[in-house]
Each structure stands twice: as structure tokens, then as C-alpha cells.
Amino acid sequence: MKKLIDKLYKENYLDKTELFYLINNINEKDKEYLIQRAHETRMKVYGSTVFMRGLVEFTNYCKRNCVYCGIRSSNKNSDRYRLSLEDIMSACEEGNRLGYKTFVLQGGEDDYYTDEKIVDIVSEIKDRFKTSAVTLSIGEKSYESYRKYYEAGADRYLLRHETASKELYEKLHPNSSFENRRECLWNLKKIGYQVGAGFMVGLPGQTKEDYVKDMHFLKELNPEMVGIGPFISHKDTPLRNEKNGTLEETILMLALIRLFLPEVLLPATTALGTIDPVGREKGLKAGANVVMPNLSPTSVREKYSLYNGKICTGDEAAECRRCIEGRINRAGFCVDMSRGDNINWRRK
Ligand code: 5AD
Ligand code: FES
């Protein structure tokens, strides 16, 4: 096992048989060793810095119906909201005052925000905060739409592949195409975005073979960012009675990704902080190097409910900034408020 971990550390690759063997047979001691190797890799590439992104959840309307998600279209208990351009700008203003240099605009797939509206929002933020990066996370769009947002100044795009198992993907995403989602990711890369893909851990029915596929898909796509978080059940979804993903499994996936893609930007996700009070700190120690505190107006925080028990709801952006910085420092890392681009990236 140690030899296999060292091979992964040196070559940043294991074939499917080796990786499956590793995931299936790793014991507690080996896990410690793997995490140590992942941490070493992170220190070599990015040092002890943790990049901060300000997250603005600007709409919880969504036309899709992903079975795990609290804002799925058929959830009639979801209290829907949309932020205006002005609301979004004041959230970014607050973020700017707190030093944020990256704004992540995330929302459901909401056709109210036409391409024109998205272009206006992106242009306005880029114009007002000239040295800041804008990240979009608004789902599957056409090549042409992605190109328009990029021309307007969007720098990055987050679109998790959710799972690399076609069968599981199709079970969880009614009326959606596994192939189209992957196509979107390749399109985003082609246009020139810094791309974030990623998956959930501990989905009902997900197997160790599926994680092998996730790792290999990500190795092939070679995205600049990877978002990995545990599945957490939401009471208003068909998966309400399913077990959550575990801390241990999520940490294992974070450490593996750090070794497969040494230069990737890897958030310690809010979902990880939700299943364990020190989940994000443990993530940072296993190779994660990004956190994404919330800048959304407190009045809408609780409404952007993808899963239950989400942390930070009701906390002011400034408070959250202070809290998270303290946590990062106590975990032995330091906050970096710069744009935090992937070290390999140049805008086309
Ligand atoms: N548990 C964990 N993560 C979830 N997401 C959506 N619903 C859940 C849930 N119930 C994740 C998806 C999506 C991201 C924005 O949030 O991976 O891409
Ligand atoms: Fe947001 Fe602690 S991380 S309040």
C-alpha cells in the first residue's frame, strides 16, 4: 500500500486497477500517510496559503430536478428568490470592502437571467472591481452562451460533473444528459475559462468503482479547480431518508485529487463543514487550499438550501470572514486574498 501511495505521489497517476485496490484496501495508518503526501504536495505547489472566494447565491429558481437537491424544480416548499443587479452589486461591494478579489456567482438554472442579463452582471462587476476575478456557476448552457459570458469578462466557471458513473448520473438527474454535461465542461475549457468540475461523495448507490471513474475523468479533463463534497440529504427531496456521505470518504477523495492533479485549486467545501464541525479544517490538512465564504444577503441565505444543516446561515459577511480566517490560522494555514488563479493559467 505504501508503495502504491508513493507511486501516486511521484507519478500523479494510478491505473484503474491500482486505484481500485488502493480505495478498497486502505487502512487508517495508510490513510494518514496518504494525507501526509497530499499535504506535502500542496505545500510544494501553493505553500500554506488558502485562497478566499466570495460566494453570491443570486437565484434559487431552477428548471432542473436533480433528486438530491433542495432547490429542485418540483420542491414546492422552496421559498424562491432572485437578486437584482443592484442586490448583487451591493453583495460584491461588501465583499470588496472585506478584501475579496474573486466573486463567485452561483444560481439554479433560471431562464429569467437571459444571456443579456448575465452579460450585464458580469460586465458591471468587472467594470466596478477591475482587478477581481468573476466565476460563474449557473449550470449547463450552449457554447455560444458560455462564449458571450467569457467575452463579457467572466474568468472561471464551476460545473461539477456530479458523478462519472453514467448509470448513477441518469438515476439522479431526470431529463438530463450525462454526455451533454461533459460536453459543457469541454466547451468551457475550449473557450478559455479556468474550469471547475467535481463530484459528490456518498450518494445513494455510489460505489468505489464510481470514485475510480471520477478520478480518471478528472485526470483526463485536467480542470483548474475541483469541488468535492459529501452528499447531504435534504428533507424536501426523494433522498430525504438516505444516509449522508462521510467525512472520511470525502477526505480520502480530496487527498487523492491533490495527488492526481497537484496544481488544482481545491476547496474545503461548505458541505464538508456541515457534516463535521472541523470538516473544512480537516480538508485543508488533506490538500484543500480554497474556501468560499458566503456574501449573499442574510435575508436569502436560508432560502438557498441545497441540503439541510448548512453552516453560516444568518452570519454577516464580515463576521464570517473573521471566523473563517481564525479557523484557517488555527489549522496552521494563512489566508490569501489575491485572485488566486491556477498557477498554470493564462487568459487567452
Ligand atoms: N448534498 C451535497 N451537495 C449538494 N449539491 C446539491 N445538492 C446537494 C446535496 N443535497 C451540490 C452539487 C452542486 C453544488 C452546487 O452543490 O454538487 O453542483
Ligand atoms: Fe462563516 Fe464561520 S466560516 S461564520
DSSP string, 118-171: HHHHHHHHHHHSTT-EEEEE-----HHHHHHHHHTT--EEE---B-S-HHHHHH
Residue 227 Cβ inside 6 Å of ligand 2? The answer reads no
CA of 265 from ligand 2 middle (Å) equals 20
Three-class DSSP category at 290: strand
Mutate which of 73, 159, 200 for ligand 1 pocket (most atoms within 8 A of beta carbon)? 200
Does residue 315 sit in helix, strand or coil? coil
CB 331 within 8 A of CB 285: yes
Residue 323: alpha-carbon gap to chain centroid: 20
From the CA of 214, which ligand is nearest?
Answer: 1
Q: How many helices (H) and strands (E) does the chain have?
A: 14, 9
E strand or H helix at 86: helix 85-97
> Of the residues 50, 280, 311, which should be mutated to test ligand 2's pocket, given the most ligand atoms within 8 Å of the CB?
311
pLDDT digits (tens, 9 = 90+) for 127-162: 999 999 999 999 999 999 999 999 999 999 999 999
Please, are residues 80 and 60 in contact by the beta-carbon 8 Å criterion? yes
Please state whether 296 falls in left (phi above 0), alpha (psi between -120 and 50) or beta.
Answer: beta
Contact between 245 and 200 (Cβ < 8 Å): yes
Q: Quote the pTM value.
A: 0.95
Tell me the CA–centroid distance for residue 127 and ligand 1, in Å.
Answer: 31
Q: Each residue of 283-320: pLDDT tens digit?
A: 999 999 999 999 988 888 888 888 887 766 546 787 88
The ligand 1 atom at the shortest distance from the C-alpha of residue 68 is: 10
Q: How many angstroms is it from 280 CA to the middle of ligand 2? A: 11
* 199 within ligand 1 shell (Cβ under 6 A): no
Question: Does the Cβ of 229 fall within 6 Å of ligand 1?
Answer: yes
Over residues 157-198, the pLDDT tens digits come to 999 999 999 999 999 999 999 999 999 999 999 999 999 999
Q: Which amino acid is at 18?
A: E
Going by alpha carbons, the residue nearest to atom 3 of ligand 1 is 231
Nearest residue to 117 (alpha-carbon basis) of 105, 99, 131, 102: 105
The best mutation among 55, 69, 72, 247 to test binding of ligand 1, ranked by most ligand atoms within 8 Å of the C-beta, falls on 69
Q: Which residues pair with 195 in a beta bridge?
A: 157
What domains, with CATH codes, occur in the chain? Answer: 2-347 (3.20.20.70)
Lowest-confidence region among 42-56, 145-159, 223-237, 318-332: 318-332
SS3 call for 188: helix
Pseudo-torsion of CA 287, 35, 11, 222, nearest 10°? -30
Please tell me what DSSP assigns to residue 222: -
Atom 4 of ligand 2 has which residue's CA nearest to it? 320
